[in-house]
Amino acid sequence: MISVMLTPNEERKAMSGLGIMREVTENERKNFHRDGAVHLKGVLGSEWNDILEEGLEYSQSNPDGMSAGVDMPLRIDQFPASHSPMLAKLMAESPVAEIVGSVMQVPVRFYMDQMFYKPAGEISQSAWHQDTCYYNVEGHQLVRAWICADPAPREVSLEVVRGSHLWNITYRPPVGMDPESDPEAAHQLEEDFASGKVLIGKEAHEQWTYFDSFMDPSLPSLPEIDRYRDSFEILGWDYSPGDVILFHGNILHSARGGSMLPHPRRAHASLWAGPDVRYIRRRSQSIPDPIALYEEKPRDGQPLSDFPNVFPIVWEPAL
């Protein structure tokens, strides 16, 4: 396993020599906070896209226990920077943290990353969902940075329900086991949760799928966005390599599908946390905690700043 050695602002710039291609504008910041997402065009240099492509291809060729297929032509890897040298370099040295911090205007910490690899041909749609329900964290300053090694027209790129990050609702994840399918195991889960146990342990890093966890029946079901598409204000973008799409951890989002692409759609999403992000045990947790966090034995409500060795500050505004 590779340790992602994250470093503060000035050290990152000195290490890479490849900074942000342009500054984030005030309008872009306002759009993010109002809409819950923003498309930042041309902020990453082509050198970083080369590193991204190499890192994703390495992960695709070297699956581990955190690599999982789903019911479509799609590979999803959790924490790929922990075993892909180029993705580790991307997280440690690229301007992605600066871009996130520049929009949020707060210090940011790296939480985790994912790979979404869709092969060439007919691109499958990803289900509408929120990110927050999958993780043991909550906060208004939880932000995704989505980048892609390939051109991704809107027909296969990200979409979000504008403003849904402000609804103050956590929905049930769209994948997982129905508690009614195994009442005995579901009852054991409730007992474990009530006793304070972490529902997905460190051992899940050895072998894991989205379908290992029970869905939380106390959470509301997701709205039928595709069925009632005209009832929602949906934002989407044509993506070019070098762009970054930022979106709030609680926003409803999806990736469109059904269109043909002559090349794969290889995407990487990293999750970043501001000062208000705290640890919270969720019954709906589907994705394990970062492996180093298990040794800290976190308690509900603890800010991530309580774990500086696991989540160091990697960017902060200039004084």
- Does 260 reside within a domain? yes
Q: Which domain holds residue 86?
A: 9-315
pLDDT of residue 286: 85
- Does 19 reside within a domain? yes
Give, as one character, the DSSP assignment of residue 4.
-
- Does 160 reside within a domain? yes
Give 3-state DSSP helix, strand, coil % of the chain, rounded to 5. 30, 25, 45
> What is the chain's mean pLDDT, rounded?
91
CA 92 to chain centre: 16
pLDDT of residue 144: 98
pLDDT, one tens digit per residue, over 26-44 is: 999 999 999 999 999 999 9
Q: Are 162 and 35 within 8 A, CB to CB? A: yes
Which residues of the chain fall short of a pLDDT of 50?
14-15
- Does 3 reside within a domain? no
- Does 1 reside within a domain? no
User: Domain tally for the chain?
Assistant: 1
- Does 84 reside within a domain? yes
For the entire predicted model, the pTM comes to 0.92
With residue 204 as reference, give the H or E element that holds it: none
pLDDT of residue 213: 82
- Does 198 reside within a domain? yes
pLDDT of residue 98: 97
pLDDT of residue 14: 46
pLDDT, one tens digit per residue, over 183-207 is: 887 888 888 888 888 888 899 999 8
Question: Looking at the DSSP assignment, which residues form a beta bridge with residue 148?
Answer: 267
Tokens standing for residue 16: 């890479």
Q: What amino acid occupies position 228?
A: Y
Give, as one character, the DSSP assignment of residue 136.
S
Return the CATH number at 121: 2.60.120.620
pLDDT of residue 197: 83
E strands, 215-263, are: 234-236, 244-248, 253-255, 260-261
Q: Are 222 and 172 within 8 A, CB to CB? A: yes
pLDDT of residue 69: 63
